Amino acid sequence: MPDVYTTEWYEAVRDAMNASAADLPDLPDGSFVVAIEIVGDGISPYVGTEGRRFLVRIDAGRCSWWRETLDRAEERREAGGPVDYRFTGPATVFDELAAGIGDPIDAALRGIINVRGDVRFLLRHADHVKALLDAYTTRVATTWPRGRPPYDGSPGGSQGVLPGAKGESASA
Amino acid sequence: MVRRLSAPPAVVAEEGGEAAGMAAMVADLIEANMAGSPRRARAVSGTQGNVVLSADDRGLSVTVSFHRERVSVVGSSLGDAPVLAGSWMDMARVCSGRCSPARLVLRRRLRVRLRRPLRPLLVAAYVLKVPRSTYSKEKPSW
């Protein structure tokens, strides 16, 4: 089981996404690049104040690669231009989602995670997007060497920041 | 004679409300659909009234307010307005043309609460639906 935000973990997430996509009957054509911006919030022990950012490239419905980047300039170089979608949110929220706590669609609808990009295509392929998100949140057995979310002291207290978040804070 | 608009009505997502993200997405959707379809922009222009969209599986609602030359979307349910209610995924399928709204209404997966005047409700249903031509364009093609 990989530690969160390690190379092995990203690879496991990619494989889980592709396994989920393989079950779908109608995969979208074309390619797009998504930027994930995890904003450091001083609570997550895995994300410093500078945050983390990574790119995910989807080709014909499957994740081809992911790359962690330092800043928007590097992001643009790696993506070969502007990204198609950008998801931005606090580290605690992304940690909780990776731990299977809460629902990423809920987080987006509530504005806890900010989504930018052409909403018409997100809606068109909502089932595909949901499958990818489900893989991220539930199909990878992640280990948390510095403690598992929800964290004590998060904006939502020990129950986490996401609606429906339940569970106990754990330490390594 | 077809009335021409100098510009589509402006669309604003108001800050605040429990469903602020949903409000931003709905505002983006209306703006993009009007930009791609002058007929939709003309339908919105001159319409006045509120419509509530309720993602009832998530307990979240937004209100689309038509103010003739401006549209605002707020992430909560305002007042005694007509309501379109269903799961978020079904709403996504209807807006993107993957599912017929009539079919979902018949199956009671999409519910409509009527209030007069009907025009805001009809205009909302029209402007929220993505023009089919959008998906035949090349980029982005997914």
- Model pLDDT for residues B58-94, shown as the tens digit of each residue: 999 999 999 999 999 999 999 789 999 999 999 999 9
Count Cβ atoms within 10 A of the Cβ of residue A30 and give its class: 0-12 exposed, 13-18 middle, 19 or more buried.
Answer: middle
CA-nearest of A41, A154, A140 to A99 is A140
Per-residue pLDDT tens for A82-139? 999 999 999 999 999 999 998 999 999 999 999 999 999 999 888 888 888 888 899 9
Burial pattern A100-135, b for ≥16 Cβ within 10 A else e, equals bbbbbbbbbbbbbbbbebbbbbbbbbbebbbbbbbb
- C-alpha B24, offset from chain centre: 12
Residues of A with a Cβ under 8 Å from any B Cβ are 28-32, 58, 61, 84, 105-115, 118-127, 130
- What is the DSSP secondary structure assignment for residue B4, as one 8-state letter? P
Interface probe, candidates B62, B139, B142, chain A, greatest A C-beta count within 10 A:
B142
CATH of domain A7-145: 3.30.1050.10
B4 has a pLDDT exceeding 70? no
Domain assignment of residue B28, yes or no: yes
The CATH number assigned to the domain holding B109 equals 3.30.1050.10
Domain assignment of residue B29, yes or no: yes
- Strand-by-strand arrangement of the A114-117 sheet: A62-69, A52-59, A31-39, A85-90, A114-117
Label the pairing between strands A62-69 and B10-13: unpaired
- Closest partner residue to A29 (CB to CB) among B25, B28, B142 is B142
Mean pLDDT on B39-66? 96
Distance between CA B41 and CA B35 in Å, rounded?
Answer: 7
Crossing angle of helices A126-138/B88-95, nearest 10°?
150
CA-nearest of A50, A25, A24, A54 to A39 is A50
CA-based nearest residue in chain B for residue A28:
B142
CA-nearest of B116, B28, B123, B132 to B67 is B123
The residues spanned by each domain of chain A are 7-145
- Domain containing B33 equals 10-131
Q: Do A84 and B19 touch (CB under 8 A)?
A: no
Q: Output the six-digit token pair for B47.
A: 């319409």
Domain assignment of residue B142, yes or no: no
Q: Do B95 and A106 touch (CB under 8 A)?
A: no
Question: Rounded to two decimals, what is the model's pTM?
Answer: 0.89
Nearest-neighbour CA in chain A from B3: distance (Å): 27
Q: CA of B54: how far to CAs of A7, B42, B90, in Å?
A: 40, 25, 11
Per-residue pLDDT tens for A35-80? 999 999 999 999 999 999 999 999 988 999 999 999 999 999 999 9
Domain assignment of residue B37, yes or no: yes
How many separate domains does chain B show? Answer: 1
